[in-house]
Amino acid sequence: MSCIHPAPHPKERRIIFGNLTQPGYAPDLKTYVAHGGYEQLRKALSMTPSAIIDAVKAANLRGRGGAGFPCGIKWSFIKQDDGKPHYLVVNGDESEPGTFKDRYILHEDPHQLIEGVAISSFALGVKLAYIYIRCEFPAAAKIVAAAIAEAKAAGFLGTNILGTGFSLDVFVHQGAGAYICGEETSLIESLEGKRPYPRIKPPYFPAVFGLYMNPTVVNNVETICHIPHILRLGPEEYAKMGTPGDGGTRTLCVSGDVQRPGAYELPAGAVTLRELLYDICGGPKPGRSFKAIIPGGSSAKVLRADEKIKRKVKGPDGTMLDQEIDVLDLVMDAASLAGAGTMIGSGGVIVMDDTRNMVETLNNLNLFYAHESCGQCTPCREGSLWMAKMSSRMLAGGGVENDPKKLKSIADNIAGRTVCAFGEAASWPTQSFLEKFPEEFAAIATKNK
Ligand SMILES: Cc1cc2nc3c(=O)[nH]c(=O)nc-3n(C[C@H](O)[C@H](O)[C@H](O)COP(=O)(O)O)c2cc1C
């Protein structure tokens, strides 16, 4: 069953989900071409690579994988004439809990992704691209591989694409099933057939020392799907849909305690959290109230539904003024959530109502991160397990008074002390749950006093 509702909400603007929600839309080449597919590849091949990169920059497209890095700027790190092989790697690991958008694209509109891969590869001087798909998506891997074969047979991939002299091969690579493989350098190691230990940055920025130590761009599935639409709409029109620093549309996956969960596609910054949760997702379940929201995948810091956000805003005369707003009035875009100390991340909005026990919820997250730590860095390997053991013990009735303080100290000693951002991902839930819900942790910790 799809999590994308057949009829779009009036506030939605479906671009990425535009085709796949049409009645009768099939994930094959004939259907994609009948919906205007591969026309943007034709257009791109008549442009210069730098003109395409400029268009992506002007579109203000931010990466949709979690870190939100501006896509055009990432692309401009690749030096066109360095004489080295360049690679494009599409990140289809989609392992961040609460995120369920890439799977729909891979299953239901694979040619949209392949057209994006072909255009991006042309712009980046890439002749060999990989689509890395997590092993838990075996059907997606088959569907995308079949679509690649169809595109190749029709001359949209392979040698001398559309008679332009540009050649590109694309391969699907299936991961073996680990959250860490979503981290880009770990994914590259995995693609090279090694244990997926993240590489340290610097020096191993993929754009410099990526796949096989050559310049590589790693982009999320959804990010790459936006590329044909930037050319179709024009970068200005595309950028205008969003906010100045966050162009285009964004998919938001809402799960948990709302009446109408699902994957929605909205112009970036078009709605506040309140509009998303009440108008679009139908509010809390009958008789319940919202308690907490994790706005950008499980690694993002949790927000209390009743908290006030203090922030600085520009006054009419340009001076900075203090402002206090309800958390639910935060705009759903990268800058606004960053200003509230959290992030839009992968767009996975996890909603919890007043029936949820926050120690239990944090324990679930801690068990996940302890299980998924790759083990390379001691603070993460030991610390994530230690936090999980402590929250499990507290939940089982064995809490002691010092537990919240100790938990915080462990989390504080993981974040910023690891090779990759998994350290932050594992510690932010503990840090933010303790900060936002101290009463629940104190109550459970002092029960045995
Ligand atoms: C622990 C961890 C897990 C990640 N998982 C994913 C993932 O499943 N999918 C993804 O696209 N990016 C994931 N990322 C982010 C990638 O490292 C990288 O920033 C992203 O693929 C770049 O693509 P984008 O610029 O298009 O967002 C993860 C990062 C970390 C630290």
At residue 181, does pLDDT exceed 70?
A: yes
224 lines ligand 1 (CB under 6 A): no
Residue minimizing CA distance to atom 31 of ligand 1: 421
Which is the closest atom of ligand 1 to the Cα of 91? 11
Residue minimizing CA distance to atom 1 of ligand 1: 422
Q: State in Å: Cα 91 to ligand 1 middle.
A: 7
Q: State in Å: Cα 68 to ligand 1 middle.
A: 9
220 lines ligand 1 (CB under 6 A): yes
Q: State in Å: Cα 190 to ligand 1 middle.
A: 14
Domains of the chain as residue ranges with CATH? 29-240 (3.40.50.11540), 249-353 (3.10.20.600), 358-446 (1.20.1440.230)
What is residue 449's predicted lDDT score, i.e. its pLDDT? 58
At residue 73, does pLDDT exceed 80?
A: yes
What is residue 313's predicted lDDT score, i.e. its pLDDT? 85
* Residue-wise pLDDT tens digits, 376-406: 999 999 999 999 999 999 999 999 999 999 9
What is residue 448's predicted lDDT score, i.e. its pLDDT? 62
pTM of the model: 0.97
Q: State in Å: Cα 67 to ligand 1 middle.
A: 7
* Residue-wise pLDDT tens digits, 314-336: 889 999 999 999 999 999 999 99
Mutate which of 71, 135, 184, 188 to test ligand 1's pocket (most atoms within 8 Å of Cβ)? 184
**3-class secondary structure for the chain?**
CCCCCCCCCCCCCCCCCCCCCCCCCCCCHHHHHHCCCCHHHHHHHCCCHHHHHHHHHHCCCECCCCCCCEHHHHHHCCCCCCCCCEEEEEEECCCCCCCCCHHHHHHHCHHHHHHHHHHHHHHHCEEEEEEEECCCCHHHHHHHHHHHHHHHHCCCCECCHHHCCCCEEEEEEECCCCHHHHCHHHHHHHHCCCCCCCCCCCCCCCCCCCHHHCCEEEEEHHHHHHHHHHHHHCHHHHHHHCECCECCEEEEEEEECCCCCEEEEEECCCCEHHHHHHHHCCCCCCCCCEEEEECCCCCCCCEECCCEEEEEEECCCCCEEEEEEEHHHCECCHHHHHHCCCCCCCCEEEEEECCCCHHHHHHHHHHHHHHHCCCCCHHHHHHHHHHHHHHHHHHHHHCCCCHHHHHHHHHHCCCCCCCCCHHHHHHHHHHHHHHHCHHHHHHHHHCCC
